[in-house]
Structure 1
């Protein structure tokens, strides 16, 4: 994959298509997605997290792109798993569709998080990061979907085509952070989207509530919309226990993870990203590496953890099999059994009795 297509997938189309002028234009633009009062994480135009490092600029981005240290990926990396989930689960079941897309089944509800079924994590169908394995759950094999949760608007998490197909087939409730409703409605005006801010929640029914929590990340969908839509992690409080799902985050100072542990108690299950982390000097503020993910597990003390965000779309410099190897080393160093934190492959499913 060419460097320019990688830039587009990560929300840098200004640099990829219009150069520095487009980047400077982005800095002067107004928010097209969300209008609301100034808060401790919204300045009237852009969202931010007070303790998060400043965004990298053109010089740092060029240094990464021209560094030439990317490990090769295979054209195909098929998963040995293929899941055909049941129509209903009374307790708890989670399955990785691929990358950061999950099906969570609990208390009779079927919930998709960041469903991406497209061949490319890109604004274009002909270029950009391409799947090296098919979705671990075929679209046709999905059970009735009751709710879809979106963490943020990057192309490897927000697949507008998939949302349109899901709406036509399942009519689910669609839930997203502030501003993402405008992005979805621009493509699918027929789909109602429920948006919330950090610290707020949505009652999904059957005793399940989705709580919006901060993440050390950012957002961008086009040339001049950086940080104009909010991003989040989700905590699901359910009759089957607490589920903490993080789509993308850096580790930062760790405060947000301590806050989740204090507010919700010990999660039964946590989904932690373990990929897209090299080079660290560039990716550290926005993407955890496996060592960071193990630190988060130690903070929240989840009973079970699963690693995702690796092995499907080539986004950064590490090799395709480095995340699970680095995770195994980090778990060994922390003296945590490997079965407590497993790197999932597409189509791999888990239930508490498995």
Structure 2
């Protein structure tokens, strides 16, 4: 191992309960699979072929410039990219407008459905939340476009700022750790909470940048946004409910989960997502992380069918957990 291999290339900071001085980790959690596990999965067969292209049932949305008062609106772009409008703020989560989520332009998972909002139809973007550095969540090309067009404030966990500044050196960035709280504007705060995941952009930087969930608190209610997570026995959901008391909306992933032996530690399945909804005391859920990029083995509609079964099993009304398709707009009811 060379000296450069021993050094964290993105972040240098004190040891903590989730950072060992070189790598971040999930306390008491499941480590990501190794190269042999990846090869076993890739050679194991079982991947269901997706249709391509897919035409969304919803036309591309043309969002209002702002929403105010008690309104809380989520518009699906695709995968984990959503426009959240609340308290006069326009917020993008893990924005990706690129055709592929890959380090390569001509190889890797390709978008099967067009973005649910055309980039040129975006309202002025105030804030961008980047949860971690996997390519389906941190897209440098899109962040550079957003900076040129909107110059938003970017909030992201430790180490991801190093990556983002390679493409957007002058970005307005807030770099945060689990447990931090930052102000956005009067009456609006963001709490940074743990989720069970990992990070990497290549072969030699595994877990060198942190991953996180965000809690947005406003006079119109609280939003719990998770970009990616394994269920982790519900530990983080229960902690979020104890700390924040519940949520008007949780934005939860429920796709990209097969095969379970490989994905369990990093991607929850629909059954786990519904359990998480109940554990964190969320009145409504905007479901994401499905039907845009094929990252795993399950068919394109399998998460929807599994979600329907999970909602019935848990006694949750279907309109409380909305799996959002590209272009779909969800006006979250007032609780």
State the TM-score bracket (shorter-chain normalisation).
over 0.9
Structure 1: distance between partners of 2:329 and 2:186: 22
Measure, in 2, the Cα distance between the counterparts of 1:54 and 1:218. Answer: 8
Contact 1:27 1:224 in 2 (8 A): no
Residue pair 1:218, 1:227 contacting (<8 A) in 2 also: yes
Mapped partners of 1:345, 1:321: distance in 2: 11
Cα RMSD after superposing both structures:
1.5
C-alpha contact 1:26 1:226 (8 A) present in aligned 2: no
Q: Which residue of 2 aligns with 1:33?
A: 10
Question: Are 1:227 and 2:207 counterparts?
Answer: yes
| Equivalent position to 1:317, from 268, 277, 297 | 297
- Which residue of the partner structure matches residue 345 of structure 1? 325
Question: Which residue does the alignment assign to 2:246?
Answer: 266
Asked if the contact 2:151/2:172 (under 8 Å) is kept, the reply is: no
Match status 1:63 vs 2:40: yes
Please report the TM-score for the alignment, with normalisation by the length of structure 1.
0.91
Pairing 1:270-309 to 2, within 5 Å after superposition: 270-309=250-289
Ranges in structure 1 where 5+ consecutive residues have no aligned partner: 1-23
**CA contact under 8 A between 2:127 and 2:153: conserved in structure 1?**
yes
Tell me which of 15, 22, 36 is aligned to 1:45.
Answer: 22
Contact 1:108 1:206 in 2 (8 A): no
| Residue 168, structure 1, aligned to residue 148, structure 2 | yes
Deviations 1:232-257 (A, max 9, x none): 01111111101011100000121111
1:152 aligns with 2:129: no
In 2, are the aligned partners of 1:274 and 1:307 still within 8 Å (CA)?
A: yes
The 3-state SS of whatever aligns with 2:192 is: strand
Residue of structure 1 aligned with 2:66, choices 88, 92, 109: 88
- TM-score, normalised relative to structure 2: 0.96
Please say if residues 270 and 306 of structure 2, whose CA atoms lie closer than 8 Å, have aligned partners that are also in contact. Answer: yes
Aligned length: 331
Deviations 1:225-283 (A, max 9, x none): 11000000111111110101110000012111101001111100011101100000100
Deviation by residue 1:308-351 (Cα, 9 ceiling, x = unmatched): 00000000000000001100000111111111112110111111
Partner of residue 255 from structure 1, selected from 235, 238, 242: 235
The DSSP-based 3-state class of the residue aligned with 1:80 is: coil
- Cα distance in 2 for partners of 1:267, 1:245 equals 10
Tell me which of 132, 143, 147 is aligned to 2:123.
143
| Residue ranges of structure 2 left out of the alignment (5+ in a row) | none
SS in 2 for 1:323: helix
Measured in 1, the distance between the counterparts of 2:84 and 2:149 equals 18
Aligned to 1:12: none
Aligned-pair CA distance for 1:25:
7.5
